[in-house]
Amino acid sequence: MENNYHFSEESINSSISFRSLVNATSYPGRHFQITKLKKPNILSNAAATILITLCDNESNVYLSKDFSTEEVKDWLIFNTGAIVSDKQNADFAVGDWESLLPLDEFKTGVPEYPERSATLIIEESNYKKIKCNINGPGIKDKLQIELPNPELFINNSHLYPLGLDFYFTNDLDILSIPRSTKISVTNSEY
Amino acid sequence: MNDMSKDKNIDIQIYNFAYLDENTKRMIRRALLKALCIPGYQVPFSSREMPMPYGWGTGGIQVTSACLIPKDVLKVIDQGADDTTNAVSIRKFFQKTANVAVTEKTSDASLIQTRHRIPETKLKEQQILVYQVPIPEPLRFLEPRETETRKMHALSEYGLMFVKLYEDIAKHGHIETAYAYPVKTNGNYVTDPSPIPKFDNPKMNNNPAIQLFGAGREQRIYAIPPYTNVKSLDFEDYPFEAMKANFKCSICGSSDSYLDEIIVSDDGKRSYICSDTDYCKEQTQLNSKEEDQ
C-alpha cells in the first residue's frame, strides 16, 4: 500500500533517536549511536538528543555549572519548554561527572512510585576510569566497562527498585547504566 | 490555478508519523524508558483515546506508535494469527499512518505487536515485542484497591498470590491458572504476562528481544528488558509446568507448538491446529521440501 503523506522531519528524527535510546536502555553497557543535530556547542549530540527527545513542559532539567549557560537554557526552553530546575527536583540532569556529585541530592523515587527518579546524563570528561564487570537485565552473561567512582554505582544499585538511571554521552555515542545493573570492580588494587 | 495542481506534492501532513502527536510520544517514551530501568514495574501514563475501542489493543498501539521508525518491518498477531480482524486492522492502521513495511514472518519483523501469544520462532536481539494488555495488575482480582496493590508491590508482599495458587491446588489438585499465569520479573515485581497461555511463559525468560507491555484502558506501561530473569510462580512440590494440548497440528504435524482446538463437523468432531499461523506455514513448507527430496 502506498500513500502520499509526508511526515515531518522532526517526527521522523525523534522516532529514530528514541529507538536508539530504547536499545541503549535495553542493553546496558553497550554503545549505541545517535545522529547529529543543531545544538549548543557545549552539549554533545547524544546529550542534546536525549533532552530534545524526552523533555517537555513537565520535565525539570538540572544543568550543572559548565552547562548552565544562557545558550543552553535558551535552546532547551525554546525546543522543549522544559523547566530549568535545581538538583533536588530534577527529572533529568546534564553535566560532567565531577559536577554532578554528590549523587545523593537527586531524587531516587519512592517505594510506591520508583519511576519518580532522576535520569543523569553524564558528558564525557577526564574522570578516573575504573574497570568494572556488569551484569543484570539486558546483559547476556556479563560485560566489562569503565566507570568513574564505581562505589557510587554500586550504592545506587543497592537502592533497587529505587535509584538513579545513567546515560554516558560522548559526541554521537550513548551508553546506559540503569539502576537494575549490578556492578563489581575487577581491579583488585582499587 | 497552476499552484493548485502542484499542491498534491506539497507536504500535507494528515497524520503525524505513526499517528500520535510529538508531545504524547514524549510522555509515553519517558514512561517506556523508566519501565525498562525497573523491569516488571507498572509505570502509570496518561493513555490517549485511540481510534478503536478499549480491549482492542489501545495500549499496545500507543507503545508501538511511540517506538516505530520508518525502516521498521511490522508484524501484528492476534492469538498467534496474522489474518484475524484485530491483527489486520492494526497492521493497516500503521501502514496508513506510518507507511512502514509489514510482514507475517516472525524472523523478518523488527517490531511485533501481539495479542495473547509469543511467536514460536525464537526472537532476536533488538527485535521489539509489544504486548496488548487488558489488566496489567496481577493482584487486581485478589485486591481491587489500587492504593493497596501499589503498597503490596512496594513491600514485595505477594502472600495473597501464593494463597490463590495454593487454593487452586487444594481444590483441584493442581494450579488451575492456564493463561495470564503470574511471573516474577528480575526477582522483584510480580508481573502479569498478559493473557498468553502459560505454555508461552518460559519464552519470556532470558529472551534476547525487548518486551514492552501497554494497557490503554488501565493506563499502565511496563517492560521486560532482554536477558532478564522471568520466573513463573510455583511451589517446590508443585513446580510450574508449561502445558499444551497433547496432539499434533493437523495441518503441519508439529507436536511442539501451541495448538488451538477447532470443531470440524456438526457432530462435534475436534481437530487441532497451530495457533501461530506463521510457524505453521513454515513447518508445512519444510515438510513439503523434505517430501520432494
- Is residue A3 domain-resident? no
Task: Specify the pLDDT at position A127.
Answer: 84
Residue in A closest to B102 by C-alpha: A1
Tell me the average pLDDT across A116-138. Answer: 95
Q: Which residues pair with A185 in a beta bridge?
A: A132
- Give the H/E segment covering residue B184: strand B183-185
A39's grid cell: 545544538
Task: Specify the pLDDT at position A188.
Answer: 57
Catalytic residue among B40, B59, B214, B216: B40
- Is residue A2 domain-resident? no
Distances in Å between the Cα of B221 and the Cα atoms of A15, B76, B239, B282 are 18, 19, 29, 33
Distance from CA of B212 to the nearest CA of A (A): 11
Does B57 participate in catalysis according to the annotation? no
**Tens of pLDDT along chain B (293 residues)?**
444 444 444 445 567 899 999 999 999 999 999 999 999 999 999 999 999 999 899 999 999 999 999 999 999 999 999 999 999 999 999 999 999 999 999 999 999 999 999 999 999 999 999 999 999 999 999 999 999 999 999 999 999 999 999 999 999 999 989 999 999 999 999 999 999 999 999 999 999 999 999 999 999 999 999 999 999 999 999 999 998 889 999 999 999 999 999 999 999 999 999 999 999 999 999 999 888 87
In the stretch 97-136 of chain B, residues with CB closer than 8 A to chain A read 98-99, 125-126, 128
Cis peptide before A161 (omega within 30 of 0): yes
Does B67 participate in catalysis according to the annotation? no
Q: Do the chains contact at B38 and A115, CB–CB below 8 Å? A: yes
Dihedral sign of CA atoms A151, A154, A158, A160 in order = positive
B62's grid cell: 500507543
pLDDT at A4 over 50: no
Tell me the longest C-alpha to C-alpha distance in chain A: 63
Residues B116 and B79 sit within 8 Å (Cβ to Cβ):
yes
Q: Which residues of A touch B23 (CB under 8 A)?
A: 56
Task: Specify the pLDDT at position B243.
Answer: 86
Residue in B closest to A179 by C-alpha: B37
**What is the pairing mode between strands A32-33 and A173-177?**
antiparallel
CATH number of the domain where residue A120 is located: 3.40.50.11310
Tell me the longest C-alpha to C-alpha distance in chain B: 81
Q: End-to-end alpha-carbon separation of chain B, Å? A: 66
Query: How confident is the model over A129-179, as pLDDT tens digits?
Result: 999 999 999 999 999 999 999 999 999 999 999 999 999 999 999 999 999
Task: Specify the pLDDT at position A125.
Answer: 86
| Closest-CA residue to B122 (of B22, B209, B246, B211) | B209
Domains in chain B with CATH codes: 22-232 (3.40.50.11310), 244-293 (no CATH)
- Is residue A57 domain-resident? yes
Task: Specify the pLDDT at position A2.
Answer: 42
Q: Which residues of B touch A56 (CB under 8 A)?
A: 23, 26-27
Other Cβ atoms closer than 10 A to A123: 23
Does B37 participate in catalysis according to the annotation? no
Query: How confident is the model over A80-112, as pLDDT tens digits?
Result: 999 999 999 999 999 999 999 999 999 999 999
Per DSSP, helices labelled H in chain B are 2-6, 22-37, 58-67, 85-98, 146-154, 159-172, 201-204, 277-292
Is the minimum CB–CB distance between B12 and chain A shorter than 8 Å? yes
Other Cβ atoms closer than 10 A to B121: 15
Does B274 participate in catalysis according to the annotation? yes
Dihedral sign of CA atoms A23, A24, A30, A35 in order = positive
**Which of A11, A54, A178 minimises the CB distance to B29?**
A54
- Is residue A4 domain-resident? no
Domain count, chain A: 1
Q: Cell numbers 491483527 label which residue?
A: B87
Domain holding A48, by residue range, is 9-185
- The single-letter code of the amino acid at A56 is D
Q: Do the chains contact at A115 and B31, CB–CB below 8 Å? A: yes
Task: Specify the pLDDT at position B5.
Answer: 40
Distance from CA of B175 to the nearest CA of A (A): 29
The 8-class DSSP code of residue A149 comes to S
Q: Which residues of A touch B155 (CB under 8 A)?
A: 111
Task: Specify the pLDDT at position B244.
Answer: 87
Tell me the average pLDDT across A115-127. Answer: 94
Q: Do the chains contact at B225 and A25, CB–CB below 8 Å? A: yes
SS3 state of residue B10: coil
Residue of A13, A23, A26, A52 to mutate when probing chain B, most B C-beta within 10 A: A26
DSSP E strand stretches across chain A:
32-33, 60-63, 83-84, 92-96, 108-110, 113-117, 119-123, 130-135, 143-147, 165-170, 173-177, 182-185
Task: Specify the pLDDT at position A7.
Answer: 63
Cis peptide before A102 (omega within 30 of 0): yes
The 8-class DSSP code of residue B268 comes to -
- The single-letter code of the amino acid at B210 is I
Catalytic residue among B80, B252, B253, B268: B252
* Angstrom distance (rounded) from CA B117 to CA B60: 13
Q: Which residues of B touch A53 (CB under 8 A)?
A: 26, 29
Q: Which residues of B touch A161 (CB under 8 A)?
A: 38, 41, 188-189
**Which of A2, A16, A56 minimises the CB distance to B69?**
A16
Is the minimum CB–CB distance between B96 and chain A shorter than 8 Å? yes
For chain A, count helices (H), then strands (E).
5, 12
Task: Specify the pLDDT at position A186.
Answer: 83
pLDDT at A190 over 80: no
Per the prediction, chain A carries an average pLDDT of 93
Is the minimum CB–CB distance between B20 and chain A shorter than 8 Å? no
Residues B143 and B149 sit within 8 Å (Cβ to Cβ):
yes
**Which of B37, B69, B128 minimises the CB distance to A180?**
B37
pLDDT at A10 over 90: no
- The single-letter code of the amino acid at B78 is D
Size of interface A-B (CB pairs under 8 A): 137
* Angstrom distance (rounded) from CA B188 to CA B158: 10
